[in-house]
Structure 1
């Protein structure tokens, strides 16, 4: 993951496994002195998917390779996403807020 990369924000819980939004890498992998070798990547929110894309929906789509790593290990924190898979997931989710296709309502404006 490199600075500026777009990434899917994926819920990997037992009740709902789905892509819910897009984030951007704002700080590349780093470690804190007290992390004992474990690292982090910082991200910032870009926008929510217009429609959440469920893991079952992705698995059932013929346009996404059965070899997609997320299908074999759905609870991974980070998996590579090929460009064609990225486009297909975005299509399934009708894009994401911030993709330039249309404005989305922001929940940040509510108090």
Structure 2
């Protein structure tokens, strides 16, 4: 993860598994700092994307998240990013609000 990358923030608690926010990397991974990446919320998904719904979408077949749910970080290709944002109606701060 690199500075300014956009990332999905995914809830994986016992009650819900879903993409809820988009965040940006504000501080890159650093071994000296305990190996953490600092992120800042960019905006909420207009419609949170539930894991079950994403798994049922043919356009998301093969997404790494479906194989290893416990990973804290999985790569998201550009086509998967666009598909999830499209299904979820985008996210606050994506510029779509300005097009009304």
- 1:68-104 alpha-carbon deviations (Å, 9 max, x no partner): 110011121000001000000001110000000006x
Distance 1:42 1:32 in 2: 14
* Count of paired positions: 98
Structure 1 gaps of 5+ residues are 104-111
Moved over 6 A (4+): none
Q: State the Cα deviation string for residues 38-66 of structure 1 (Å, max 9, x = none).
A: x100111100000000000000001112x
- TM alignment of 1:83-98, pairs within 5 A: 83-98=78-93
1:24 and 1:57 map into 2 onto residues whose CA distance is: 24
Equivalent residue runs for 1:20-99 within 5 Å: 20-32=20-32, 35=34, 39-65=35-61, 67-99=62-94
TM-score of the pair, normalised by structure 2: 0.92
Give the root-mean-square deviation of aligned CA atoms: 1.2
Correspondence for 1:106: none
